[in-house]
Amino acid sequence: MEDKVIVVASGNQGKIKEFKEMLEPEGYTVKSLSDFPDMPEVEETGTTFHDNAIIKAQAVTDRYGITAISDDSGLEIDALDKKPGVMSARWLGHDTSYDVKNQKVLDLLKDKKNRTCRYVCAIAITRVNEEPVVFEDTVECEVALEAKGSNGFGYDPIIYYAPSGKTMAEMSKEEKNSISHRGKAVRKLEAWLDAQKH
């Protein structure tokens, strides 16, 4: 892994921050798409988190000849036929604020007994002349009755994690990273990166 530079193929500041917090202590320099302003927008044409993660990372590797990681993640709500799913960021429109999206979820689930949901994360790592490798994980949660907390990002204020008795947005970043879909997938990625060194 030359110079231990990894490009996170994302413009999502919340995601980039989480990757930096998890990978920089391991000695990686984490860059993001904002460091490559001429990178064209990549169309996420996959039907799964796995496919979209590869599409986004591979585009960066192909263009710049560098190692890239891309995370495609989202929320599957069982009572909504696993929506918003791969459309999580684009659901109700890309520019719609998460306050509006979260309220919409709460409204849709108003009379529902089944509030089970999960965050899913697929992280792809792509390297020059190598097959992509993908790490996936999930965290089982419930949709809360109301939004609570101001940490995290996205749907976190309405996603309740029963073992901790808190929403994702009420957790410290350490708590969240220890149980989250992304935290678990990143640890798989880190173990894999470690194994590559030997």
What amino acid is encoded at 102 in this protein? N
* Range list of β-strands (E), 14-66: 29-32
Residue 160 φ then ψ, to 5°: -100, 130
Is residue 134 exposed (0-12), middle (13-18) or buried (19+ Cβ within 10 Å)?
A: buried
Sign of CA dihedral 137, 115, 52, 174: negative
Q: How far apart are CA 117 and CA 29, in angstroms?
A: 33
Q: How far apart are CA 106 and CA 85, in angstroms?
A: 16
DSSP H or E segment with residue 188: helix 181-197
The yes-or-no answer on residue 72 being catalytic is yes
| Catalytic residue from among 35, 62, 71, 72 | 72
Active site residues: 72
